[in-house]
Structure 1
């Protein structure tokens, strides 16, 4: 692990505003990372993507997606949380990437602009050799993971809901990519996800943002595992209950 800890400091007194009022952050002073792969899990609005964005911003990555060298902006929408955290490194790394599924279209357009200005296909080498817009959503994500995430030097990768464009089979392919990187010992991943497939990655730390404050949780205790298992095991019964007309 290169990013060892996120410290929450100089927390504002007006904790009635987002994201400082989120239960996951109450009474929390630091978040430690002890494994090469860490997952953020929780309901929508629980703060996992907001914290991931703040880490990316403080690490010097583009908050809309990309790395330190990707300079573009389509909307100034990031929260102020990055002003209230400090990153503890050992050693500090400057390489890596921040993937935001919701703004990946804008990132892809930015890469096309770079390629046009470069007047060559060299820019596309890190993305499968062609425009990300010329690939399906899932293909473009895997092209990024396969070609850009080379694992040749120490790097921090921050992924915000990467499963958004990935079929179950391609989520398994991403698990293999994570494994290959971990074996090389050059990469650290922090991933916000709703995917029970990705959460099943062996020996990863899962931090639940549904707890106050956020805390580690076992894979089998996550709602994502429990609900998915119940649905697959008792689909007919659950659907009957779900679609049952109100008897009142």
Structure 2
């Protein structure tokens, strides 16, 4: 039905709940903005909210609030004192933006660098070209983490972060303890490592969203926003069950 040449949906006040549901639909299905079904608000409206919340940092603030609440539901203190760090290389499309070649994974794209708590909840995330080594990419990530969680000083990591290079680069922002979780000697094939499996599970949670199957975004900031939205989707479902 039309009123004054416009669809009725275009004249009503935007329902933010429907906007969030539309964003989660794109996240889950991996469809393009223009392919958003008609039962949601216009795709340009949804897209505008998504990028506005990216630019104002609202996605990160929502994740931080929900993580604290989820930790309290688990009987933990709101602010963690230990975390786990790791990265995942995702191949990029021709959309453009900064990218690089990861010789270890033999992929051309970007790295999703994250720090989680010991329950697998996201504390900090950064996306950078894949040719940047994990030790160098971890410095701004942990610097930002110290601003958000000043009590967090102990970090579990794999062998790529070993040595004094990372600790020396972080010496200006207080004490850190980097505990390297080593693979047992003589073990071949897949091995479930203490603490390390938690961060792999978090990456697996991201893998449930088809939008994150590859890096489709033109900028690293947009990729970060989708990662945060994916974690919000997970946290809201968990908290709703409680």
TM-score w.r.t. structure 1 length?
A: 0.24
Structure with bigger helix share is 2
TM-score w.r.t. structure 2 length?
A: 0.24
